[in-house]
Amino acid sequence: MRPGLRPLVVAVKTLAAVCAVGMLGGLAWLAIDGGAGVSESASDKSAGDAKAGAKGKSGEEGGDVTPEGFVACSRLIVEGTVVRVEPVHGAERDTITLTVTRYYKPAKGPEKVTFRMDHDVDPRLKPGDRTLISIPKGEQYPDNWATKAKDRASLRDMVVNALPGSRSLKCSKAPGPGV
């Protein structure tokens, strides 16, 4: 590489990394915030509309916009330790086995759960990781997972606080394949 290009390459890679971190931060904020509006009044209206739509007969509107809707639309929310990561032959994904220490939804289940995750996720789970994951209804892959203690605590608090209200909501998401 020519000596004059090295600083430019470093600058471009740094900019790309900053953009990626910003996008991940935004996605994490949406997951924790539940996609509520930017102002308090918009947030209140959005949450109210979502709950009203979620309680409707058809269940085709809005239940997944609030934290309660997020929990209502999850088929599995658990916390535990990754004990095995096995590559799926011929695919860019792994089969993850988690020893569950706490069930949030459903309230109880087997000691171990297994699910798949794509390789292009960040952070990629590895044996020994403590994590809290959620898998949406009708899906096989987690839509949220947290491995850092602070992130797990934030996601856990959101889930625990949303559990009571989620029980009266109907998820607006149509079941995907495998349901």
Residue 131 half-sphere exposure toward CB, CA atoms < 13 A: 26
pLDDT in tens, 32-47: 544 443 333 333 333 3
Cα(54)–Cα(151) distance, integer angstroms: 27
Tokens representing residue 131 in the block:
């994590």
Residues 16, 159: Cα–Cα separation, whole Å:
32
pTM of the complete model beyond 0.85: no
Largest CA distance in the chain: 67
53-166 adopts what CATH topology? OB fold (Dihydrolipoamide Acetyltransferase, E2P) (2.40.50)
Q: Where are the domains of the chain?
A: 53-166
Residues 70 and 64 sit within 8 Å (Cβ to Cβ): yes
Residue-wise pLDDT tens digits, 30-84: 555 444 433 333 333 333 333 333 333 233 344 457 899 999 999 999 999 999 9
